[in-house]
Chains A and B, each alone.
Chain A
């Protein structure tokens, strides 16, 4: 398996505050990688740097062997190869569900309108929201909005799907639907990198779990090892706290 996405010595600082202090991470095609760690450990920042939504301070990111942190690169072209889902959905409120999903395939990827709409309806059908195609996002529940946001990200046929704590803003009753959809995507040999607090879920769907603390990956390996029998004391402490809160 060749590496699809690779970060080398990635550093990100906001002013004088370092958030990422040299992250090395390789993700192979079809791999599902879960980033775990306490809030503020740099998970979201890492995802944003990988998807080129934040300029990196130092280090490099490679997508399909191409250095995408090169300042001369066409960043829009690179971003178009990622599908990003945010914690707060970020659907476009002035567009219908169908228009939300079709926007990038039509305007960025310049695909045929009829074909794009057919594909979008297919996706909506799969997430059980085909009857809401003409609705505006405000009329949907949080769980429905997040599933639409995932469909919007998948619709661009991304090389890498980036999921940033996609269930954190949802009420517990709605989490299961969204996780079910992510699980389905994970089984389709898609390359996924996700930040999550749902450790039980990470254990089930991830091929690999990376534990972040203070801006570096302190431990990385199969979920059965990192989440069950961690080597690093900080990982053990983190898992202990999570277990206490009942989320493992």
Chain B
């Protein structure tokens, strides 16, 4: 632990020295790493980040729910469910293929243009919907891969005990499927954390948009660096959480006694 800490610190210091020895460092440090500018803009950028976090919180609940739903529809067996499977396939094909930016324009500007009576969602909700629809398509495919990774003999064993299809899914297949794809899901969550900021094109002020405004007024790039650091800080816990979850699952299955 201590050795690792020392070697890591040393590594960072060496890289730092190499960069600060560069001829243009003086100027670069003033325009990108100005401490005074950073302190000035931090509250504004944080205020923007709060928007990212709110959209993220909503999407992080809706995306896995819808994604799992689509994956379950797509893996329904039997000819009766062909239309349902086709719907699920169509959903994934369309929304995974459409660029998120385009989705934001289509939903963010298209839906208000329809002028529905009594239905006037804010840009915040329209943006969140666009992000959710797109990411659900990705996550549906991750869940489907997980479901298909569970060996058919597991279903056979479950059915042989008299478990119904929903019971087999819920108690035998999904617990194993979700465990298999947890790293991939959390990876998508990190990607989502960064992409929610795109809703700023609908006129909302997220962390990067706030930073951009500050850059435009101060002619200093430090606000971008501040925003970038905040995004990194936001994603680190997700990564560590993913590692912890996987480690725990692996340990549990290999331990003699639960």
CA distance A79 to B254 in the complex (A): 32
Q: Distance in Å from the Cβ of A94 to the closest Cβ of chain B?
A: 5
Docked pose: A104 CA to B162 CA in angstroms: 7
Of the listed stretches B57-65, B114-122, B153-161, name the one at the interface; the rest are far from the partner chain.
B153-161
Choose from A86, A88, A136 the contact partner of B252 (Cβ within 8 Å): A136
- For A92, list chain B residues within 8 Å (CB): 154, 157-158, 172, 176
Name the B residues within 8 Å of A134 (CB-CB).
Answer: 257-258
Q: In the complex, what distance in Å separates the CA atom of A57 from the CA atom of B161?
A: 23
Residue of A nearest to B165 (CB): A76
**Interface residues of A, dominant DSSP:** loop
Min Cβ gap B108→A in Å is 42
Q: In the complex the two chains form, what is the Cα distance from A139 to B253 in whole Å? A: 8
CB-CB under 8 A from B162, the residues of chain A are 76-77, 79-81, 104, 108-109, 156
Q: What 0/1 pattern do residues 99 to 118 of A give for CB contact below 8 A with B?
A: 00001100111000000000
Q: Smallest Cβ distance from A77 to chain B, in angstroms?
A: 7
Total A residues in contact with B, Cβ cutoff 8 Å: 31
Nearest-CB distance from B216 to chain A (Å)? Answer: 53
Residues 162-221 of B contacting A (Cβ, < 8 Å): 162-164, 167, 171-172, 175-176, 179
Q: Is B256 on the interface with A (CB-CB < 8 A)?
A: yes
B255 at the binding interface (Cβ < 8 Å): yes
Docked-complex contact B253 and A93, CB < 8 angstroms: yes
Q: Which residues of B contact A135 (CB under 8 A)?
A: 256-258
User: Which residues in A have their C-beta under 8 angstroms from that of B157?
Assistant: 84, 86, 90-92
List of A residues within 8 angstroms of B167 by Cβ: 107-108
Closest residue of chain A to B172 (Cβ to Cβ) is: A92
A209→B54 CA distance, assembly (Å):
69
In the complex, the answer to whether B252 meets A53 with C-beta atoms within 8 Å is: no
Give chain B residues whose Cβ lies under 8 Å from the Cβ of A79: 159-162
Contact between A139 and B160, CB atoms less than 8 A apart = no
Distance of A135 from chain B, by nearest CB (Å): 6
A156-B176 Cα distance, complex, nearest whole Å: 23
- What is the bound-complex CA distance between A248 and B255, given in angstroms? 40
Q: How large is the interface on B (under 10, 10 to 19, 20 to 34, 35 or more residues)?
A: 20 to 34
Q: Considering only CB atoms, which chain B residue lies closest to A92 in the complex?
A: B172
Question: Could you mark each residue 53-81 of chain A with 1 if its beta carbon is under 8 Å from any beta carbon of chain B, else 0?
Answer: 10000000000000000000000110111
Query: Which chain A residue shows the least CB distance to B174?
Result: A94
Query: Which A128-183 residues sit within 8 Å CB-CB of chain B?
Result: 132, 134-136, 138-139, 152-153, 156
Contacts of B159 in A (CB 8 A): 53, 76, 79
* A139 touching B153, Cβ below 8 Å: no
Question: How far apart sit A136 and B157, CA to CA, in the bound complex (Å)?
Answer: 17
Q: Nearest Cβ in chain A — how far from B145, in angstroms?
A: 17
A82 near B160 with CB under 8 A, answer: yes
Q: How near does chain B come to A124, taking the closest CB pair, in angstroms?
A: 14
Interface bits B238-258 vs A (CB < 8 Å: 1, else 0): 000000000000001111111
Instruction: Tell me if B254 and A138 are in contact (CB < 8 A).
Output: yes
Residues of chain A lying within 8 A (CB to CB) of residue B179: 94
Query: Contact partner of A51 among B154, B158, B160, B253, CB < 8 A?
Result: B160
For B175, the chain A residues whose CB sits under 8 A away are 94
Interface assignment of A41: CB less than 8 Å from any CB of chain B: no
A139 touches B254 (CB 8 A): yes
Shortest CB distance A109–B (Å): 8
Indicate whether A96 reaches chain B with its CB closer than 8 angstroms.
Answer: yes
Known: A136-B255, A136-B258. Contact between A104 and B153, CB under 8 A?
no
Q: Within the complex, which residue of A84, A93, A107 is in contact with B160, where a contact is CB–CB below 8 Å?
A: A84
Complex contacts, A138 vs chain B, CB 8 Å? 253-254
> Which one, B158, B161, B163, B256, contacts A139 given CB within 8 A?
B256
Contacts of A109 in B (CB 8 A): 162
What's the minimum C-beta distance from A89 to chain B, rounded to whole angstroms? 9
Known: A90-B153, A138-B254. A76 touches B164 (CB 8 A): yes
Q: Which residue of B lies closest to A80 (CB)?
A: B162
Which 8 A-B pairs rank lowest in CB-CB distance, beginning with the nearest? A80-B162, A90-B157, A104-B161, A84-B160, A108-B162, A134-B258, A79-B162, A134-B257
Extra 17 A-B pairs, beta carbons < 8 Å, given A84-B161, A90-B153, A152-B161: A51-B160, A76-B163, A90-B156, A90-B157, A91-B157, A92-B154, A93-B176, A94-B175, A94-B253, A132-B256, A136-B252, A136-B255, A138-B254, A139-B254, A139-B255, A139-B256, A153-B161
Q: Can you show 12 pairs from A to B with CB atoms below 8 A apart? A: A53-B159, A76-B164, A80-B161, A84-B161, A86-B157, A92-B154, A94-B179, A103-B171, A108-B162, A132-B256, A136-B252, A138-B254
